[in-house]
C-alpha cells in the first residue's frame, strides 16, 4: 500500500468515526426531554403559530407578529414538523444536524490549515465532546446554526486562501454562508466573518489581492440577493414596528443595556470559554499558553487566523453590556482547533507531555471527586431537598464511570498512548445519566407534563395566571390566554402582547374580573399570591409538579357580594405606555 492510499484510508476512517460519534453525541435521545422553558418553547411555538397562519415569512407569537429573530430557524422548524408534526425530537433535529455539520467543517478546516489530518480529527472530537457544543446541538436555539454558518463562511475563505485556483468559488461560498447567518441571527452574521477575514488579510499584507478580485462583486450581489429580500419584505409590511424591535431593541439596546446585569463584567466570557469546553477546560488554558509561545517561534498563517478569530468574536461581544454564554459560541470551533494543536504537539514532545499529564490528571481528579461532594452534607435539609434518592444513585453511577475513565487514562499514559482519549466520553456519560433521570428532571425544566396532567384533571378555562419563565409554554400547551405575575419588575426584554402585572393593585383588579382563576406558577413567583386577603379571595394549591404549582383563586366578591376597598370590581386594567407593564 503506497502513502497516498494509506492517507486516503486514514481520512475515510476519520469520517466514519466523526459521523458515527456525532450522531451519538449530538442527536440520539433528543426526544427524552420535553421542550424547555423559556427559550425552546419560544422558537417552537413561533413556528407552530406560523403553520396555523400558513405563513412562511412573518413569525408569530401569542397570535401577533414577533420580530425578535430572523426567519431561517423558523423555516427549518417548519420543515422538521412536516413529516410527523410538532415534537421535541423534530424541533431539535436541525440544531443537531448543524452540530454534526460543524464538526465535519472543523475537520476540513483543520486539514487545510494544519495540513495534519490527526490534528483536525482531534479538533472535531474535542469540539463534539465539549459541554456548550453538546448543549447547543441539543436545544432549539439560533446559536448552533448561526455559529456553523460563520464557520462554513470562514472555511470557504481559508480554502480559497490556501488554494489560489479555488478562490472564485471560495469567495462566493463565503458570501452565501454569511447571508444565511444574517438570516439566522442578524447583521453580525456578516460583521463577524467579514471582520476576521479583513484583519487577517491586512496583517498578511494580502488585502488588495482579494479586494480586487471580480468574484468579490459577484459575492456581494449574491449576498444581497439572499439576505436582503426577507428584511425588505418585513420593513415594507411592518415599518417602524419591525425596525425598532429588531434593530434598535434587539441589537442596539443589547449593546448599551445589560439584559442580565450579573453577567456584565470583564471576565464573564473568559469563564464561558473555560467552562464551555469542559472537560477540556484545563487543556484550553494550556492551549492559550502554547499559542502565545508559537506566535514567537512558529507563527504559521493558520495560527494567526485562529487567534484573530477568537479575539474578534470575543472583542465584539465584550463591548456589549448584554452578555450570554451562547453569544461567543461562534469562536468555539477555533478553540477546538487550538486545543487540538496543543494536544497533538504535547503527545509527541516529552517536555510538553508533562503539561498534558497535569491537564489530564487535574481533570480526572475533578471528575472523580465532584460527585462525592454532596456526601458530607447528605443529612442537611437543603441538600436533601435538591438531591433525591434517585439523583443520589445517579451520582454514585457517575462516580463509578469517572473512576473507570481515570483508570483508562492511566493505562494509556503508561503505554505511552494519549491519556486524554477517555475524556471524550465524559459528556456522553452525563447525558446517559441525565436521560435515566428524565422523569425527575423534565418537570423542573419544562411545563409540558404539568400542563398535560392538569388539563386532564381540571377544567381549566379563562386566562391562566403564570410566571414569566413558563408563560410561553402555558400558552403553547393549553391554548389559553395567559397573564404574568412579575412583581420583580423585570419584564421581557422584547414586549409580548400579554397581561404583565408588576403592581399588586393591577393583579387584584385582574383576579376580581374572573370569578375563578387558575394559575400555573413557578416556585419563585408564588409569594404574591400568599399575600391575598382571605376575606376577599379563596386561594388553594391544587397540585405540584416539579417546581410548578397549580393554584385556584376564587373571587369571593362574585359569590358573596363583598365590596371592593381599593378599586371597583370591573375597573379597567391600565398599561404603562413606556414599559408595557400593568
- Where does 287-414 show beta strands of DSSP type E? none
Residue 389 and residue 462 share a domain: no
pLDDT on residue 576: 43
Q: Give the whole-angstrom CA distance, residue 61 versus residue 39.
A: 12
pLDDT on residue 349: 79
Say if CB 96 and CB 141 are below 8 A apart.
Answer: no
Where would I find the H helices in 416-556? 426-436, 438-445, 448-457, 471-478, 504-513, 527-530
Residue 206 and residue 73 share a domain: yes
Residue 438 and residue 453 share a domain: no
Quick: pLDDT tens for 260-271: 888 899 999 999
Say if CB 149 and CB 46 are below 8 A apart.
Answer: no
Helix axes 332-347, 117-128, angle to 10 degrees: 130
Domain boundaries, position 433:
356-443
pTM of the predicted structure, to 2 decimals: 0.91
> 573 in a domain, yes or no?
no
More confident residue, 192 or 495: 192
The distance from CA 294 to its chain's CA centroid, rounded to whole angstroms, is 32
pLDDT on residue 489: 65
Residue 458 and residue 427 share a domain: no
More confident residue, 79 or 437: 79
Give the pLDDT mean for 5-33.
83
pLDDT on residue 387: 58
Q: Residue 547's closest CA among 562, 526, 531?
A: 526
Say if CB 443 and CB 388 are below 8 A apart.
Answer: no
Rounded to whole angstroms, what are the CA distances from 518 to 70, 276, 322, 464, 523?
Answer: 34, 40, 35, 5, 15
Residue 337 and residue 275 share a domain: yes
Residue 247 and residue 201 share a domain: yes
Q: Give the whole-angstrom CA distance, residue 499 versus residue 481.
A: 9
Residue 293 and residue 397 share a domain: no
Residue 461 and residue 419 share a domain: no
Q: Give the whole-angstrom CA distance, residue 4 versus residue 386.
A: 57
More confident residue, 1 or 92: 92
User: With DSSP H G I counted as helix, E B as strand and the rest as coil, what are the percentages for the chain, rounded to 5?
Assistant: 70, 5, 25
189-223 burial by CB neighbour count: b if 16+ within 10 A, else e?
bbebbbbbbebbbeeeeeeeebeeeebbeebeebb
> 569 in a domain, yes or no?
no
pLDDT on residue 578: 40
Give the pLDDT mean for 485-498.
81
Alpha-carbon torsion angle 177, 178, 180, 184, nearest 10 = 130
Residue 128 and residue 268 share a domain: yes
pLDDT on residue 128: 97
Residue 36 and residue 179 share a domain: yes
Q: Residue 151's closest CA among 119, 124, 117?
A: 124
**In this structure, what are the phi and psi dihedrals at residue 68, rounded to the nearest 5 degrees?**
-75, -35
Tell which of 343, 369, 402 closes a domain: 343
> 571 in a domain, yes or no?
no
Determine which of 116-130, 327-341, 431-445 has the lowest per-residue pLDDT on average. 431-445
| The pLDDT of residue 340 is above 80 | yes
> 350 in a domain, yes or no?
no
Q: Supply angle C-alpha 564, 569, 570, rounded to 5.
A: 160
Q: Largest Cα–Cα distance in the chain?
A: 95
pLDDT on residue 396: 80
DSSP 8-state secondary structure symbol assigned to residue 417: S
Residue 118 and residue 167 share a domain: yes
pLDDT band at 526; cut points 50, 70, 90: confident
422-443 burial by CB neighbour count: b if 16+ within 10 A, else e?
bbbbbbbbbbbbeeeeeeebbb
Structural domains in the chain (count) = 3
Number of other residues whose CB lies within 10 A of the CB of residue 186: 19
| The pLDDT of residue 8 is above 60 | no
pLDDT on residue 95: 98
Residue 553 and residue 458 share a domain: yes
Percent of the chain residues past pLDDT 70, beyond the cut: 90
> 313 in a domain, yes or no?
yes
Quick: pLDDT tens for 64-97: 999 999 999 999 999 999 998 999 999 999 999 9
Amino acid at each position: 500500500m503506497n502513502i497516498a492510499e494509506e492517507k486516503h484510508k486514514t481520512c475515510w476512517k476519520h469520517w466514519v468515526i466523526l459521523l458515527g460519534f456525532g450522531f451519538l453525541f449530538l442527536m440520539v435521545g433528543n426526544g427524552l426531554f420535553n421542550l424547555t422553558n423559556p427559550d425552546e418553547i419560544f422558537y417552537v411555538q413561533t413556528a407552530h403559530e406560523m403553520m396555523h397562519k400558513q405563513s412562511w415569512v412573518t413569525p408569530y407569537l401569542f397570535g401577533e407578529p414577533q420580530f425578535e429573530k430572523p426567519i431561517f430557524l423558523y423555516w427549518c422548524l417548519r420543515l422538521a414538523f412536516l413529516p410527523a408534526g410538532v415534537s421535541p425530537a423534530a424541533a431539535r433535529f436541525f440544531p443537531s444536524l448543524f452540530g454534526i455539520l460543524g464538526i465535519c467543517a472543523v475537520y476540513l478546516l483543520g486539514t487545510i490549515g494544519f495540513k495534519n489530518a490527526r490534528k483536525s480529527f482531534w479538533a472535531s472530537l474535542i469540539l463534539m465532546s465539549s459541554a456548550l457544543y453538546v448543549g447547543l446541538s441539543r436545544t432549539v436555539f439560533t446559536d448552533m446554526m448561526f455559529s456553523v454558518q460563520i464557520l462554513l463562511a470562514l472555511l470557504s475563505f481559508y480554502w480559497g486562501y490556501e488554494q489560489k485556483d479555488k478562490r472564485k468559488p471560495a469567495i462566493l461560498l463565503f458570501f452565501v454562508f454569511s447571508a444565511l447567518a444574517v438570516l439566522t441571527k442578524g447583521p453580525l452574521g456578516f460583521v463577524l466573518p467579514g471582520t476576521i477575514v479583513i484583519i487577517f488579510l491586512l496583517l498578511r499584507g494580502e488585502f488588495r489581492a482579494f479586494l480586487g478580485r471580480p468574484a468579490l462583486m459577484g459575492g456581494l450581489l449574491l449576498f444581497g440577493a439572499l439576505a436582503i429580500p426577507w428584511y425588505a419584505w418585513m420593513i415594507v409590511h411592518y415599518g417602524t414596528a419591525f425596525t425598532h424591535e429588531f434593530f434598535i431593541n434587539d441589537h442596539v439596546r443589547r449593546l448599551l443595556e445589560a439584559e442580565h446585569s450579573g453577567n456584565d463584567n470583564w471576565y464573564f466570557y473568559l469563564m464561558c470559554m473555560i467552562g464551555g469546553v469542559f472537560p477540556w477546560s484545563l487543556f484550553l488554558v494550556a492551549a492559550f499558553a502554547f499559542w502565545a509561545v508559537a506566535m514567537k517561534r512558529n507563527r504559521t498563517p493558520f495560527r494567526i487566523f485562529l487567534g484573530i478569530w477568537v479575539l474578534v468574536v470575543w472583542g465584539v461581544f465584550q463591548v456589549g453590556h448584554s452578555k450570554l454564554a451562547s453569544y461567543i459560541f461562534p469562536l468555539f470551533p477555533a478553540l477546538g482547533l487550538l486545543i487540538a494543536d496543543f494536544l497533538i504537539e504535547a503527545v509527541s514532545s516529552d517536555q510538553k507531555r508533562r503539561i498534558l499529564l497535569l491537564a489530564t490528571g487535574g481533570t480526572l481528579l475533578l471528575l472523580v471527586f465532584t460527585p462525592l461532594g454532596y456526601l458530607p452534607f447528605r443529612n442537611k435539609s437543603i441538600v436533601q431537598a435538591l438531591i433525591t434518592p434517585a439523583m443520589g444513585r445517579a451520582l454514585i453511577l457517575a462516580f463509578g464511570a469517572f473512576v473507570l475513565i481515570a483508570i483508562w487514562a492511566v493505562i494509556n499514559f503508561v503505554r505511552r498512548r494519549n491519556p486524554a482519549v477517555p475524556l471524550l466520553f465524559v459528556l456522553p456519560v452525563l447525558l446517559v445519566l441525565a436521560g435515566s433521570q428524565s422523569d425527575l428532571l423534565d418537570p423542573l425544566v419544562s411545563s409540558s407534563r404539568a400542563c398535560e396532567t392538569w388539563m386532564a384533571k381540571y377544567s381549566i378555562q379563562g386566562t391562566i395566571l403564570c410566571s414569566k419563565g413558563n408563560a410561553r409554554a402555558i400558552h403553547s400547551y393549553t391554548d389559553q390566554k395567559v397573564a404574568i405575575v412579575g412583581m420583580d419588575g423585570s419584564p421581557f426584554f422584547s414586549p409580548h402582547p400579554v397581561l404583565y402585572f408588576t403592581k399588586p393593585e393591577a393583579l387584584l383588579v385582574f383576579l376580581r374580573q374572573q370569578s375563578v382563576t387558575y394559575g400555573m406558577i413557578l416556585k419563585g413567583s408564588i409569594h404574591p399570591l400568599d399575600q391575598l386577603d382571605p376575606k376577599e379571595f379563596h386561594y388553594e394549591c391544587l397540585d405540584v409538579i416539579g417546581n410548578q404549582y397549580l393554584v385556584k383563586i376564587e373571587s369571593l366578591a362574585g359569590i358573596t357580594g363583598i365590596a371592593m376597598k381599593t378599586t371597583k370590581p370591573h375597573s379597567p386594567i391600565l398599561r404603562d405606555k413606556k414599559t408595557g407593564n400593568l
